[in-house]
Amino acid sequence: MREMEWQATLDEYQKLVIRMNTPRVVIDNEVCADATLVKVDSARKHGVLLEAVQVLADLDLSIHKAYISSDGRWFMDVFHVTDSLGRKLVDESLVSSIEHSLATADVEEKAPDVSSSLTALELTGTDRPGLFSEVCAVLSDLNCTIADARVWTHNGRAASLIFLNELVDDDEEKIAVITARLRNILGRDYDPRGSKTSVSSAAVGHADRRLHQLMFADRDYESVAASSSSSSRPSITVQNWIERGYSVVGVQCKDRPKLLFDVVCTLTDMEYVVFHGTIDTDSDRAHLEFYIRHLDGSSISSEAERQRVIQCLQAAIERRASEGLRLELRTVDRQGLLADVTRTFRENGLSITRAEIRTKDQTAVNTFYVTDAAGNPVNSKTLDTVVDRIGEGSLKVVQDRPARRSAPSAGEVDGGAAGFFYLGSLVKRNLYNLGLIRSCS
């Protein structure tokens, strides 16, 4: 009897711990005139900030401002968000989805559009024009159907995460054939870093985070492409605030969707903890500041480490930068569709710099960013030829999102040309803003 009572006491204690550690989420549409405030507070654990940012990114929400603060045991985030069109969040089903997702977030969850029943291919190697087209041709020849895929290129390197409808985990012969054919394509050029190919039916985690990890492991941050202008690269500074034991990371760059996710994802995977932070956007510019430490509580200790953080953050921001013309393919899915479309690109001298492939309800919704083979903008004659061959009703040129809201009003923090925020300014702002935000400023 006593054992049963003791077990019941333990069960109640576990329930209390779960309730205490479950994030509390408040969504407020009244405080700010042109953005919805999403407030999240939870017990501190490694990756807790990434969990929140990942949820908002997966729902295609834009983060215009954010305040991040922690007292070491408890963590609080306040995000100013809109939908992809710059509107406040008024859809009750979307609000409910945000509340549920943030309250149950798990940093290792898969992207919501990728099924765990698919076979995953992970590819890394030297980038070249037509590479993804050749990969698609091989998979089509082997009767493999691509259900979902992501392709990133950066600094002459390429990484792909491809999900096949077929489960081939138990077919060792087919796995061997797929791996050998793809390695032959990836290893065609001399590559001192080598290329990597893996086939697995195991969960790979969040798709975009996995791509960051693949490119980080491939050391794409170590070299700078010749076409990359230093003036257009993200500006990163790293300083130590010795009195408080923090390393202060400042980022200034062009604003774009999922920017905060890419930065926080990289800091998390490099095993840094963000204790405080602010994010401000001014038209099409973003200003980010983070106060970080190692997992063991120490700050950045050497110049080599400082330079590595700068290089890795620059690479993380540039990987998803929308280089090239954006094309969207929307049509009925069929066997070999992707192979045919990418072959048309290749035959007309187009190079894919980034791609996102999705299939939903037998409809293919694919987004490609393309340049010519030399990395220059696509000329109109070539574009007309490609659209005509694929079908004007299926392939469209899509304009990127319009610039964000106008510059902050008086009193708001503006990194601007004056440089990064002063040390300590973030902490003072968070003491005022977090929990008792009275206005949008």
Pick the CATH number of 119-224+323-397 from 3.40.50.720, 3.40.1020.10, 3.20.20.30, 3.20.140.10: 3.40.1020.10
pTM of the model: 0.84
Report the pLDDT value the prediction gives residue 203, as an integer from 0 to 100: 65
Ranges of residues in the chain whose predicted pLDDT is under 70: 1-21, 72, 105-116, 167-170, 188-192, 201-203, 223-231, 400-441
* pLDDT for residue 405: 47
Q: Write down the domain spans for the chain.
A: 119-224+323-397
Strand arrangement, sheet containing 285-294:
24-28, 36-43, 74-82, 62-70, 272-282, 285-294, 246-254, 235-241
